[in-house]
Amino acid sequence: MSSVDQLRWSEPNDATPFLPERKTLSSLRDAAAGCRGCPLWRNATQTVFGEGLKRSRLMLIGEVPGDKEDRSGQPFVGPAGRELDKALEAAGIDREEVYVTNAVKHFSFTERGKRRIHQTPKRFHIDACRPWLDSEIELIRPEAIVLLGATAGKALLGSKFKLGESRGRPLESDLAPLVTATAHPSSILRQRDDDARHAERRMFTEDLKRVAQMLAAG
């Protein structure tokens, strides 16, 4: 049995016991700070809970906090967050009016020397963390949800989700009146050269513009 599997079987795999009795965004945030629902809390600095207003019409769901987010305790404040901010601005969406969160609330990484390298969370991390995300959706009841990247798509819509097929169009889901998907903003940073980065940035912005138009029409 691998060490990951050993941890999987020897530790809890569900955040449910950590949920507060009375759910508000602030009681959820406080309770999530003490979550031990899966092994990811052990090496991370802190829980990175979602951020935004309860009345947000739009919710963006990413994969997992990154290095900067882990240190600051806030979602989307690192390089990918800066890409997100630029794209939201270009799409005419005020970030203050958007609720941003992740499918998994603790940083998942491996160490390479002094560097902490992002590691895609496993399915059992995503399943364990789902009660937090479900609670956020239940409280905010957004008009639109945008899934950022394949991991968020699979987490919410199932393992058959394919970003290439689903990107930029309305998807069938009970999660919100409008559910759609686009790339994770970190994909812009992973492109091999400036041209590819500009193209990915343009596509990402266009996807968000379409969401803004649908929200304005709705």
Q: Which residues bind ligand SF4 (CB under 6 A)?
A: 15, 32, 35-38, 40-41, 47, 104-106, 125, 128-129, 132
Q: Where are the alpha helices (DSSP H) in the chain?
A: 3-10, 25-32, 67-72, 79-90, 123-140, 150-157, 163-166, 186-189, 194-217
Q: Minimum distance between the CB of residue 81 and ligand SF4, rounded to whole angstroms?
A: 19
The amino acid at residue 185 is P
Nearer to ligand SF4, 129 or 171 (CB): 129
- Torsion 206-171-96-121 (CA) sign: negative
Nearer to ligand SF4, 60 or 87 (CB): 60
Nearer to ligand SF4, 77 or 171 (CB): 77
Nearer to ligand SF4, 101 or 182 (CB): 101
Q: Minimum distance between the CB of residue 69 and ligand SF4, rounded to whole angstroms?
A: 13
69 backbone dihedrals φ, ψ, rounded to 5°: -65, -40
Q: Minimum distance between the CB of residue 198 and ligand SF4, rounded to whole angstroms?
A: 34
The amino acid at residue 88 is L
